[in-house]
Amino acid sequence: MSRALTFHIGAIIVLAVLQFILPVYHSGNLARIMVLAVYAMGYNVMFGYTGLLSLGHAMFFAVGMYGAGLSIRLFDMAAAPAFGIGIIASILFSLGVGLLALRTIGVAFMIVTLMFSQAIYLLILYFNPLTRGDEGFVIPQAVRQVAGFDLSDPTTRYFAALLLFAIALLGMVWLVRSRTGRVLVAIRENEERARMLGYDSWAHKLFAVVLSGTMAGAAGAAYGLLFGSVGASFAEVPFSILPLLYVLLGGPGTVIGPFVGTLFMFYLRDISSSFTDAHLLVAGIVLVLLTMYARRGIMGVVRERWAKWLP
Amino acid sequence: MKPEKRDNVIASRRKVLKGMAAIGAASTMPGLVPFAQAATDQPIRIGFQVHRTGIGAAYGRWYERTTNAVAKYINDNGGINGRPVEIIAEDDGTDPKRGAEVVEKFATQHKADIAFGTLFSHVVIGSAPRAGELKIPYFVVSEGHHVASGMLNRWTLQPGITDVKSQVQAMAPFVAANLGKKVTMIFPDFAFGHDHRDYFSAAIEKQGGNVIAKIAIPPTETSFTKYFAKIPRDTEVLYHVMVGPSVLTFVKEMGEFFGPSRPEIFGFIDSLEAVDLKTPGLEFLEGTYFWEGNPRYAQKNQTEYDRFYRAAVGVDDNGASIDDPRDVSTYAHMWGCWETLNVVKAGMEAANYRGPGDRAALIEAVEAMTDMAEGRDHPQGAKIFNGRTHQVFGHQYISRVNGGRLEVVHRTSIEDTFYPDEVDYTKMSF
């Protein structure tokens, strides 16, 4: 087994053990962080590995969340099939977005993703009778059961989040070491050269958008089912910026980086908000400092200095 | 060694006697009797979920001042079951995701006895499931119909502020009888606006009137003139409810559109909470009517309870901060924090609440409440609590703008605000 695989499996084992060690508050936080890290890992596929900067990633998260949530609210579906609907909705939606948005590049791509995301947010508000608009709705505790496991139970929720996180993490380890993953990096570094070498860069970029959107959608569906509420704030612009911050902090183009960035940002806000109302200012200053002195993010610096084998 | 030991014993006896004398003296002071009896007890820890940042910050600032004031009021009067109240405030950023995290923090890290104080509906809806799972009583001060609609859970209650459905329907009899029966509604195109549209349309029809046009304003809109052109000419009453920073533009453009010949205008003060009615551009509101949850301006027939409450929260007769007349309060809503914590106190004392093990008993004690008399604990007016729906009902106020002040012209009965139960939370298990 390679060092990279050992490291990431080890990280999953450590997280599993932490459930039994950490105080309740922190294990609850970690469950949330793992789900959000899947969202960030999805973002990393597009931004960190393929070089596609999206400013509207919340739309994918929201499509997964509402796909699952509305299946339960409108069709009385059980949690497991609703989760499946959330993922299918994410695949189809990200495919549609990819087909349209990839006709643009650079700044235009950023604007198009931002506009698509805003359209999704406004659609949620427009269809208020179905979605309850900006208020959102609750997924009842009784529905949040899978194969006899109650997703609202703290231990079950933690391990459900860990399962999703582990699949995403190991999937990413496999992807970045695969031929497809290397082509994505080649596109990020120099798309023209990749094309000249005979790779279909457009198809690879479309794959990256669909995979990224699906991971974000899976995180959204899981978030709704694990924490019991669905709301339009998850489709707003600030929620699109969060995964960008997570990835920039943790290390773009590193597999574990998005998790580290999510963990860092979560506790930065949690701790700083206990001392000051200006917690966003604190986050901003830390981000500026990190951008100035650790431009490759936390795990990017670790890889550069101590662990060149880190994928 | 022995004399030293004896000295120590004497010294410690002296300390004990001094301590007893101090407790005895303290016991004679008003308000300190129960604290003295429960000197070893820990404080009751109230987790206050406050909108310090985000869109709800203006409301949150005054919710926090009111909460600190009511905590002082309760403590000055002996606390709860002889234990002092301690407010543990956490900013939720007016964000449902963070709101849920804050509730978790109250329950599992701060070891708070209850969570309390949330205003914005989307934050309540994002947080309530976690409160239910963590089995921590969650007392919201939101106005939303989400509690009484049955959407939430047995651990979530709204015993200190009336909900939007009861407020809106109670306006219809006054509007139909005094302003007109052909109503055009202008409202923001999201859930809050839709609640107004749906509840008022049904209520005005019962009064023999009808809504002849429903004009929804997209939430991103910044200019409104084109929507005013859609108002039918035979409109007798324009019903408006706008929120957010664009409300000043809305009023200004409405004035420019109608000029001196306007229909009667009725609105919800939510649009202008924390906004000075004498702000340039708001002159057009002169002579128009507003719903108020509690009258911002001290009225001629002001009750002694309002006078006491107004002083306690630091608000002058114009509804602004005593320290800064430019700092206008959210007077129509913030009383909900005052009354809710007094309900919590009454509930804890009825349940003989000792700690988190008695949380279910606290819920049952509040569910058993019905009549709440007007007084210092309930300065807005008398209330009737419905334990089945976890929602309180109370008087509503309709005020007219006269000389830049709001003067109350009508106070509804509590019965005007009733509607059939939509849920029975008491049948749900804990």
Q: Are A254 and A303 in contact (CB under 8 A)?
A: yes
Q: Cβ of B125 and A23 within 8 Å?
A: no
Q: How many CA atoms lie within 13 A of B409 on its CB side?
A: 18
Q: What is the pLDDT of residue B66?
A: 97
Q: What is the pLDDT of residue B24?
A: 43
A146, β-bridge pairs? A149
At B2, the pLDDT band (50, 70, 90 cuts) reads very low
Average pLDDT over residues B337-346: 97
Average pLDDT over residues A260-283: 88
At B138, the pLDDT band (50, 70, 90 cuts) reads very high
A22 touches chain B (CB under 8 A): no
Name the CATH superfamily housing domain B165-292+398-410. Response regulator (3.40.50.2300)
Q: Cβ of B191 and A133 within 8 Å?
A: yes
- What is the pTM assigned to this prediction? 0.86
A137 touches chain B (CB under 8 A): yes
- For B90, the closest of A129, A233, A273 (CB atoms) is A273
Q: What is the pLDDT of residue B261?
A: 84
- For B129, the closest of A28, A126, A228 (CB atoms) is A228
**Interface mutation target, options A22, A26, A127, A138, chain B, most CBs of B under 10 Å:** A138
Looking at per-residue pLDDT, the higher value among B25 and A161 belongs to: A161
Q: What is the pLDDT of residue A1?
A: 61
Q: Which residues of chain B neighbour A24 with C-beta distances below 8 Å?
A: 108
Tell me how far apart the alpha carbons of residues A260 and A256 are, in angstroms, rounded to a whole number: 6
- Check whether B25 has a pLDDT greater than 50: no
Tokens of A301: 């610096």
Query: Nearest residue on chain B to A157, judged by CA atoms?
Result: B133
Range with the poorest average pLDDT among B72-81, B212-221, B246-255, B368-377: B246-255
Percent of chain B's residues with pLDDT above 70: 90
Going by the DSSP 8-state scheme, the letter that residue B50 receives in this structure is E
- For B125, the closest of A122, A137, A280 (CB atoms) is A137
Which range, A41-45, A305-309, B254-258, is most confident? A41-45
Q: Do domains B44-162+332-393 and B165-292+398-410 have the same CATH topology?
A: yes
* pLDDT tens profile B384-430: 999 999 999 999 999 999 998 999 999 999 999 999 999 999 999 98
Specify the CATH class of B44-162+332-393 in words: alpha beta
- Check whether B26 has a pLDDT greater than 50: no
**Interface mutation target, options B50, B108, B427, chain A, most CBs of A under 10 Å:** B108
AA letter at A291: T
Average pLDDT over residues B258-276: 88
Q: Are A44 and A221 in contact (CB under 8 A)?
A: no
The CA-CA-CA angle for residues A225, A229, A231, to 5°, reads 120
At B34, the pLDDT band (50, 70, 90 cuts) reads very low
Domain boundaries of chain B, sorted by first residue:
2-28, 44-162+332-393, 165-292+398-410
* pLDDT tens profile B160-188: 999 999 999 999 999 999 999 999 999 98
A253 touches chain B (CB under 8 A): no
Q: Is the ipTM beyond the 0.95 threshold?
A: no
Tell me how far apart the alpha carbons of residues A303 and B9 are, in angstroms, rounded to a whole number: 66
Q: Which residues of chain B neighbour A127 with C-beta distances below 8 Å?
A: none
Give the Cβ contact number of residue B163 at 10 Å: 24
